[in-house]
């Protein structure tokens, strides 16, 4: 397919610039990291255990928290726990970070890409259902920007065909669905702590799973070894399943603990800024993705549809305001070509040149949002 490149370069971090994103680091991060570095454990140790417990208490509901070194690793663990094998099929979003889909390439799995729903940029669920076959072994929704998919309908479809749902919630700490945490909506939920997510561990991820899968998940993330038994003195462990080196370190967990302590603040700031955008963007030349569902929106990205996107990006850049596309349709990448050749995605085609992500992060103020909106409302 034709590849269109019109991104602007990232801007320097100055007082005048409104950057598109910024890491959220908890106030006590340096204290907790210093404490970790002065102790015995800097790899996986007691702070990882504490971070998992605190995260479960905050977001896990009845799930177990399995921390790992990236959101991608968390997704790969989930796919392994789903027992996806060579020859199986999976239903995945076309529009997402490649991290959602690359782990499937580790095996000979067929990816069946789903077009977007234009109003939300989430999966078109009519398209999802049309792709299901007897070989389908997982459905992987991404809650784009922090806006939850229609999980009632998706669960109805998945349960009818007995297919597990793996939620890619990399965008979605703080997202709820009809008052429920995401952990209540499927057997597998992945969160990301990559540098610019709601809060960070430097890089890292968390997989939420049911209790019966906890031990297996922890073995797979550490070479297939029962780490608890080994630390208890049983050093000659047998390895009966292939594992990986995906564990989180105590240094990363220390950063995460500090961020988790202030996560309510981080989410609240983002949600208020999101609402401010919705209030102040008054031009009819802009459509806001997810505006009618902002109450349960996790507010990781604020995305708009516009005509003449490059012209708007140029004007924003002239006013020291960053903007970009953040994610791209996966069929533009050569590694996925064999799965998408000859397949049409009409909704994605309609908006490919029109979606734009505006700045949204905890260091912004209401005045910053007003400045962005003023520039856009003036026209371009």
- Which domain CATH number covers 58? 3.40.640.10
Write b or e for each residue in 122-153: b if 16 or more Cβ atoms lie within 10 A of its Cβ, otherwise e.
bbbbebbbeebeeebbbbbbbbbbbbbbbbee
Does residue 19 belong to any structural domain of this protein? no
Does residue 17 belong to any structural domain of this protein? no
Residue where one domain finishes, among candidates 261, 294, 325: 261
Q: Are residues 341 and 237 in the same domain?
A: no
Say what the pLDDT of residue 189 is: 98
Structural domain containing residue 138: 29-261
Say what the pLDDT of residue 153 is: 98
Q: Are 54 and 32 in contact (CB under 8 A)?
A: no
Does residue 7 belong to any structural domain of this protein? no
Q: Are residues 287 and 201 in the same domain?
A: no
**98-156: pLDDT as tens digits:** 999 999 999 999 999 999 999 999 999 999 999 999 999 999 999 999 999 999 999 99
Residue where one domain finishes, among candidates 241, 261, 281: 261
Does residue 10 belong to any structural domain of this protein? no
For the whole model, what pTM was predicted? 0.94
Count of Cβ atoms closer than 10 Å to residue 364 Cβ: 20
Structure tokens at 354: 């029109």
**144-175: pLDDT as tens digits:** 999 999 999 999 999 999 999 999 999 999 99
**51-79: pLDDT as tens digits:** 999 999 998 788 999 999 999 999 999 99
Residue where one domain finishes, among candidates 234, 261, 288: 261
Say what the pLDDT of residue 14 is: 84
User: Which residue reads 């209540």 in tokens?
Assistant: 184
Q: Are 304 and 282 in contact (CB under 8 A)?
A: no
**276-315: pLDDT as tens digits:** 999 999 999 999 999 988 889 999 999 999 999 999 999 9
Say what the pLDDT of residue 178 is: 96
Say what the pLDDT of residue 1 is: 47
Q: Are residues 207 and 280 in the same domain?
A: no
Say what the pLDDT of residue 277 is: 98
Say what the pLDDT of residue 5 is: 54
Nearest residue to 375 via CA among 293, 302, 291, 314: 314
What stretch of H or E contains 191? strand 188-192
Say what the pLDDT of residue 123 is: 98
CA–CA gap between residue 274 and residue 28 (Å, rounded): 27
Does residue 14 belong to any structural domain of this protein? no
Average pLDDT (246-257) is: 98
Q: Are residues 47 and 179 in the same domain?
A: yes
Does residue 11 belong to any structural domain of this protein? no
CATH of the domain at 371: 3.90.1150.10
Query: What percentage of the chain exceeds 70 in pLDDT?
Result: 96
Q: Are residues 257 and 280 in the same domain?
A: no
Average pLDDT, the chain: 94
Q: Are 131 and 146 in contact (CB under 8 A)?
A: no
Question: Residue 177 to residues 5, 38, 174, 265: CA-CA distances in angstroms?
Answer: 35, 42, 10, 20
Residue 10's pLDDT band (cuts 50, 70, 90): confident
Residue 255 predicted with pLDDT over 70: yes
Does residue 1 belong to any structural domain of this protein? no
Q: Are 350 and 318 in contact (CB under 8 A)?
A: no
SS3 93: strand
Residue 371 predicted with pLDDT over 70: yes
Question: Residue 1 to residues 309, 311, 323, 343, 349: CA-CA distances in angstroms?
Answer: 20, 23, 24, 11, 11
Say what the pLDDT of residue 37 is: 97
Residue 317 predicted with pLDDT over 50: yes
**82-92: pLDDT as tens digits:** 999 999 999 99
Residue 12 predicted with pLDDT over 90: no
Q: Are residues 250 and 270 in the same domain?
A: no
Q: Are residues 54 and 155 in the same domain?
A: yes
What stretch of H or E contains 188? strand 188-192
Say what the pLDDT of residue 234 is: 65
Average pLDDT (178-200) is: 96
Q: Are residues 370 and 343 in the same domain?
A: yes
Q: Are residues 98 and 113 in the same domain?
A: yes
Does residue 203 belong to any structural domain of this protein? yes
- DSSP annotation of 239 reads -
Q: Are residues 43 and 138 in the same domain?
A: yes
Q: Are residues 187 and 225 in the same domain?
A: yes
């Amino acid at each position: 397919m034709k590849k269109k490149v019109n991104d602007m370069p990232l801007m320097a971090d100055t007082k005048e610039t409104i950057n598109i994103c910024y890491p959220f680091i908890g106030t006590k991060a340096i204290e907790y990291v210093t404490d970790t570095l002065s102790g015995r454990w800097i790899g996986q140790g007691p702070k990882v255990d504490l971070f998992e417990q605190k995260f479960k208490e905050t977001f896990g509901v009845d799930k177990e928290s399995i921390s790992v070194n990236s959101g991608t690793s968390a997704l790969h663990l989930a796919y392994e726990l789903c027992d996806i094998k060579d020859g199986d099929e999976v239903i995945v979003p076309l529009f997402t970070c490649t991290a959602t889909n690359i782990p499937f390439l580790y095996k000979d799995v067929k990816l069946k890409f789903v077009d977007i729903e234009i109003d939300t940029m989430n999966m078109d669920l009519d398209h999802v259902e049309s792709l299901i076959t007897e070989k389908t072994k997982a459905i992987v929704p991404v809650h784009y920007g922090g806006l939850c998919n229609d999980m009632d309908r998706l669960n109805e479809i998945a349960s009818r065909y007995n297919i597990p749902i793996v939620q890619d919630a990399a965008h979605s700490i703080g997202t709820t669905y009809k008052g429920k945490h995401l952990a209540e909506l499927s057997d597998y939920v992945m969160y990301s702590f990559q540098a610019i997510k709601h809060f960070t561990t430097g890089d890292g991820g968390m997989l939420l799973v049911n209790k019966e899968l906890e031990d297996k998940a922890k073995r797979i993330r550490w070479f297939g070894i029962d780490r608890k038994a080994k630390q208890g003195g049983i050093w000659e462990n047998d390895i009966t399943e292939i594992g990986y080196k995906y564990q989180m370190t105590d240094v990363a967990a220390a950063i995460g603990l500090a961020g988790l302590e202030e996560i309510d603040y981080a989410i609240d700031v983002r949600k208020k800024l999101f609402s401010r955008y919705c209030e102040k963007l008054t031009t009819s030349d802009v459509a806001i993705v997810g505006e009618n569902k902002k109450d349960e929106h996790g507010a990781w990205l604020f995305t708009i549809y516009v005509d003449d996107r490059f012209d708007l990006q140029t004007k924003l850049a002239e006013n020291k305001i960053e903007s970009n596309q953040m994610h791209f349709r996966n069929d533009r990448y050569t590694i996925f070509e064999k799965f998408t050749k000859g397949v049409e995605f009409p909704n994605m085609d309609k908006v490919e040149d029109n979606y734009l992500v505006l700045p949204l992060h905890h260091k912004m103020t209401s005045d910053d949002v007003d400045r962005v909106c003023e520039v856009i409302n003036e026209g371009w």
